[in-house]
Amino acid sequence: MTIQTSKSKTTLKLFGVVLGMFVFGFALVPLYDIYCQVTGANGKTGGAYVASEAFEVDEERQVTVQFLTNNNANMPWEFRPTVRSMQVKPGQMYDTTFFASNIARTTMTAQAIPSVAPFHAAEYFHKTECFCFEQQQLASGEVIDMPLRFIIDPHLPASVKTLTLSYTLFDITDIAATGAAE
Amino acid sequence: MSAVIENHHDDHHHGPDKGLMRWVLTTNHKDIGTLYLWFSFMMFLVGGCMALVIRAELFQPGLQLVVPEFFNQMTTMHGLIMVFGAVMPAFVGLANWLVPMMIGAPDMALPRMNNYSFWILPFAFGMLLSTLFMEGGAPNFGWTFYAPLSTEYAPPSVTFFIFAVHLMGISSIMGSINVIVTILNLRAPGMRLMDMPLFVWTWLITAYLLIAVMPVLAGVVTMMLMDIHFGTAFFNAGGGGDPVLFQHVFWFFGHPEVYIMILPAFGIVSAIIPTFARKKLFGYDSMVYATASIAFLSFIVWAHHMFTVGMPIAGELYFMYATMLIAVPTGVKVFNWVATMWQGSMTFETPMLFAIAFVILFTIGGLSGLMLAIVPADFQYHDTYFVVAHFHYVLVPGSIFSIMAAAYYWLPKWTGNMYDETLGKTHFWLSFVGVNVTFFPQHFIGLAGMPRRYPDYALQFADWNMVSSVGAFLFGFSQLLFLFIVIKCIRGGKQATDEVWDGAEGLEWTVESPAPYHTFSTPPALPERSLA
C-alpha cells in the first residue's frame, strides 16, 4: 500500500506545519517586544538604562521635555507630574517626580506604562531610574512622589526639538493579586 | 448505468445509505460537498438577514429599528458568519465535490476526517448564534475583535465566541489537510502538477494558506481567553502587554484569510471563461505562478490594515509598496481572463454572466484596494464606508458571484438536470443590479467621511444610504430566487448530457450526469493533453 503510506506521511507533515504555526503565533509575542525595543516603534522605551559610554553634555542644544499623565479607564487615582515641562541639555542627567494619590477606599496596585513621542526619538530617551520599572501599591488615602531620573542621548536627531513622555496609569490590583504580572 | 456497475470489483454497496443517517455518517466526498454547500447557503441567508437589519436601520438617519448595542452585535455577527460560515464552507464544499472528480480520484484521501470537518461546523455556528440569546448579548466588537474591546470590555458571551472560532479553525485545518493530501497523492496516473485544472491549483495553494494561518488565529483567540480568564496580560498594557500586538497577530492571520476567500474564486472563473469563450485558458503557467505569488505576498503585507496605529514611517512605506506589488500578479490574472475571451466564440449562459461580472466588479474592488494602500490617503479612508465598499466589492461580486457561477456551472453535473436558464439569467441581473446599487454609493459616503460601524449618521449622508439600503433588499431577496432555481433543478428539468457544456474540458465532464455516487474507482486514462 504505497499510496497509504505516502498519504500518512503527507498528513503527518501537514499536522507538523499546523503545530509549528500555532507555536509561531505565540512566538510573535516576544518577537514583537524585541522588535519594538530595538526600533523604539510604538514609542516603547527600554528598561533601566546602564551607561555604555560617558556622554558629553551638549551645551549648545536645548530640548523641551514635556510630561503627560493619563489614567486608564476606571483608574480612580490622582496622578500628575510635579513639573509639566523641562528645558534640558542632551547628555546631562535630570531628576523629576510624579505625584500619585490613591483616593479609592481600598488598597490598590498600579502600574505606569511609558510612551515617548515622536516614536523615533524613543530610543534616545534613557531612564536610569523610573517608578514605571515597578508596581506601586498604595493604601487608601496614601500619597507618593515617584522619582524619574533620565538622560537624553546626545545622538538625538537634530530635528527633534520637543519630546513628550507620557505615562498611562493602569489599575492592576487584580492581576497583581493573582501574581501573574511581572 | 450497467457500464458503471461493471467497473466495480469489490463487494461494497454502490449507492448511498437510506435515511437521515446517510448524511450523518457519510464519508462520500459528494455527500459531504453537498452538506457543505447547503450549510453555507443557510449561513448566507442568516448572515444576509443580519445585513438587512443593518441596512434597514441605516435607511434613514436617526435610530429607528434597533438599539445601538444590538446594531453592534449585527455588524459583528454578519461579518463572522459571512466569512467563516458562508464563503469558506462554500469553497470547501466545491472542493469536496470537484477536486476528486477533476484529478480522477475515487474520493478525498481522508474520508473519515472529511466527515468530522463538516460536522464540527454546525456545532461551531450553533454556539456562535446561541450568544444572541445570552445575557449581555452576542459579541459586539466587530468581526476583527480588536483587544481590549474584545477582552476587557467584551460581553460575557465572548468565551463562546472564542470556542466557536477554535472549532471553525479545527474544521478548516482538517478540511485543508484533506485537500492537500488528496491532490498530492491521488492524482490520476500521468497527471503532473502542471496538468491540473486551475481550480485544483488554486485550492492547493489556498489549503496551504489555511494550514499556515488558521493556527495563528487559534493562537490569538487563545491569548484572549487567557487574558480574560487566567490573568495573563498579552494585550493589556497595564500588565506589560500591548493592544497593538493583537492587531499585528490578528492581521498576520487576517490578510492571508482574505486571499483564502478569493483564490478558489480565481480557479472557478478560470474554468468557466474558457468553456463559454470556447478557447483554451490564456497563460495557464502564468496563472499558476500569479496565484503562488499572491499567496506569498499575502504573508508580508498585513500591517496595511493598521496604518493609523502609529507605525514608523519606514514601516508604512514598506507595507505600502509591498501591498501595491500584489496588483502585479492580480493584473496578470485579469489580463489572462480578458485575453481568453478575446476573439472567442462567446455565449452568455448564467455561469458566464456571473464570471464576467466577477472579472469586472472584482477589478473595481481591487482598484479601491490600491487606493487604500496609499498611506496618506488611507489616513482619510480608514474605517470609513469606503473600506466597507472596497471589501464588499471583492467579497460579494467577487467570492459570492464566483460561488454562484460555480453552482450554475456544475449543477447539471451534480443533479443530472439543466437549471432554468431564463430564471438563472433573471437571478443574475437582479443580483448584479442589487450589488452595485448597494455598494457603489458606499464609496461616495465613505469619501465624504461617514465612519463604519455606527447605527446613525449625519444628515448629508442620507440620500446615498437610502439608495444603498434599497439595493441591499433587492440583492437579499433575489437570493431566494436562487434557492428556488436550485431546488427546481434538483427536482427535475431538461436532462443534462455528460459533457453538459459544449466547450467544457476536464475529467469531471467525462463521467455521466448526474455524477454517480462513486466515480473513478479505477483511475481514468487521461485524454491527450486536454486538461490544462
Which chain A positions have a beta carbon within 8 Å of B216's beta carbon? 21-22, 24-25, 28
| A119-128, B12-21, B394-403: range with lowest mean pLDDT | B12-21
Integer Cα distance of B207 and B172 in angstroms: 9
Integer Cα distance of A138 and A128 in angstroms: 23
Prior bond to B523 cis, omega within 30? no
Integer Cα distance of A29 and A33 in angstroms: 6
Q: What integer pLDDT is reported at residue B239 of this predicted model? A: 79
DSSP state of A131: G
Residue A88 pairs with which residues in a beta bridge?
A63
Q: What is the ipTM of this complex?
A: 0.88
Span B227-251, mean pLDDT? 89
Percent of residues, chain B, with pLDDT higher than 90: 89
Which chain B positions have a beta carbon within 8 Å of A25's beta carbon? 215-220, 249, 252
B3 half-sphere exposure, CB direction, 13 A CA radius:
5
- Alpha carbon B298 to its chain centroid, in Å, reads 16
- Note whether B445 and B464 are within 8 A (CB): yes
Residue A99, min C-alpha distance to chain B (Å): 18
**Residue B7 scores a pLDDT above 50:** no
H-assigned helices in B395-420: 401-415
- Alpha carbon B190 to its chain centroid, in Å, reads 31
Does domain B262-515 bear CATH number 1.20.210.10? yes
Among B185, B234, B242, select the one facing A10 at the smallest CB separation.
Answer: B185
| A112-116, B105-109, B154-158: range with lowest mean pLDDT | A112-116
Which chain B positions have a beta carbon within 8 Å of A171's beta carbon? 238
Integer Cα distance of B186 and B221 in angstroms: 35
Residue A40, min C-alpha distance to chain B (Å): 9
Contact A10 B245 (CB under 8 A): no
Q: What integer pLDDT is reported at residue A52 of this predicted model? A: 67
Any A CB within 8 A of B223 CB: yes
Considering only residues B185 and A180, tell me which one the structure prediction assigns the higher pLDDT.
B185
Burial group, residue B125, by CB count within 10 angstroms (0-12, 13-18, 19+): buried
> Catalytic positions of B, please?
78, 107, 143, 171-172, 255, 257, 259, 270, 304-305, 330, 333, 452
**Residue B449 scores a pLDDT above 80:** yes
What SS3 class is residue A97?
A: strand
Span B114-132, mean pLDDT? 97
Integer Cα distance of B56 and B375 in angstroms: 33
Task: Rounding to the nearest 10 degrees, give the CA dihedral for residues B168, B169, B171, B174.
Answer: 170
**Digit-coded pLDDT (tens) for B474-513:** 999 999 999 999 999 999 889 999 999 998 989 999 999 8
Span B278-299, mean pLDDT? 96
**Residue B5 scores a pLDDT above 50:** no
- Note whether B481 and B426 are within 8 A (CB): yes
Task: Give Cα separations from B529 to B135, B196, B353, B382, B507 (angstroms).
Answer: 61, 11, 28, 49, 12
- Note whether B276 and B348 are within 8 A (CB): yes
Span B462-472, mean pLDDT? 97
Integer Cα distance of B246 and B250 in angstroms: 6
Which chain A positions have a beta carbon within 8 Å of B181's beta carbon? 7, 10-11, 14
Helix (H) or strand (E) holding B506: none
DSSP state of B419: -
Q: What integer pLDDT is reported at residue B140 of this predicted model? A: 94
Contact B223 A14 (CB under 8 A): no
SS3 content of chain A, % helix, strand, coil (to 5): 30, 35, 35
pLDDT, mean over chain A = 86
**Residue B532 scores a pLDDT above 50:** no
Q: What integer pLDDT is reported at residue B2 of this predicted model? A: 42
Integer Cα distance of B320 and B307 in angstroms: 9
Integer Cα distance of A79 and B514 in angstroms: 75
Considering only residues A37 and B400, tell me which one the structure prediction assigns the higher pLDDT.
B400
For residue A43, name the pLDDT band (cuts at 50, 70, 90): low
| A48-62, B100-114, B179-193: range with lowest mean pLDDT | A48-62
Task: Give Cα separations from B248 to A102, B40, B460 (angstroms).
Answer: 35, 29, 35
**Residue B4 scores a pLDDT above 50:** no
- Dihedral sign, Cα of residue B117, residue B146, residue B372, residue B353: positive
Percent of residues, chain A, with pLDDT higher than 90: 38
For residue B91, name the pLDDT band (cuts at 50, 70, 90): very high
DSSP state of B65: S
- Note whether B335 and B371 are within 8 A (CB): no
pLDDT, mean over chain B = 93
pTM of structure: 0.90
For residue B9, name the pLDDT band (cuts at 50, 70, 90): very low
Instruction: Give the number of A-B residue pairs with CB atoms closer than 8 Å.
Output: 110
Residue B40, min C-alpha distance to chain A (Å): 25
Residue A87 pairs with which residues in a beta bridge?
A64
Contact B237 A72 (CB under 8 A): yes
Q: What integer pLDDT is reported at residue B8 of this predicted model? A: 45
Domain spans of chain B?
262-515
Task: Rounding to the nearest 10 degrees, give the CA dihedral for residues A122, B255, B284, B363.
Answer: -100
**Residue A117 scores a pLDDT above 90:** no
Angle, helices B385-394 vs B421-447, to 10°: value is: 150
**Residue B44 scores a pLDDT above 60:** yes
Residue B212 pairs with which residues in a beta bridge?
none
Q: What integer pLDDT is reported at residue B451 of this predicted model? A: 96
Integer Cα distance of B357 and B272 in angstroms: 12
**Digit-coded pLDDT (tens) for B166-220:** 999 999 999 999 999 999 999 999 999 999 999 999 999 999 999 999 999 999 9
Residue A179, min C-alpha distance to chain B (Å): 8
Which chain B positions have a beta carbon within 8 Å of A41's beta carbon? 311-312, 315
Domain spans of chain A?
41-178
Rounded to 5 degrees, what angle do the CA atoms B253, B256, B258 make?
105
| A51-60, B284-293, B345-354: range with lowest mean pLDDT | A51-60
- Alpha carbon B381 to its chain centroid, in Å, reads 25
| A94-103, B252-261, B290-299: range with lowest mean pLDDT | A94-103
| A49-58, A138-147, B314-323, B370-379: range with lowest mean pLDDT | A49-58
Considering only residues B237 and B353, tell me which one the structure prediction assigns the higher pLDDT.
B353
For residue B261, name the pLDDT band (cuts at 50, 70, 90): very high
Nearest to B272 by CA among B401, B95, B381, B439: B401
Place of cell 530595538: A38
Task: Give Cα separations from B434 to B49, B391, B468, B476, B531 (angstroms).
Answer: 15, 16, 9, 8, 36
What SS3 class is residue A88?
A: strand
Integer Cα distance of B532 and B528 in angstroms: 11
| A93-107, B335-349, B440-454: range with lowest mean pLDDT | A93-107
Does domain A41-178 bear CATH number 1.10.300.10? no
A165 half-sphere exposure, CB direction, 13 A CA radius:
31
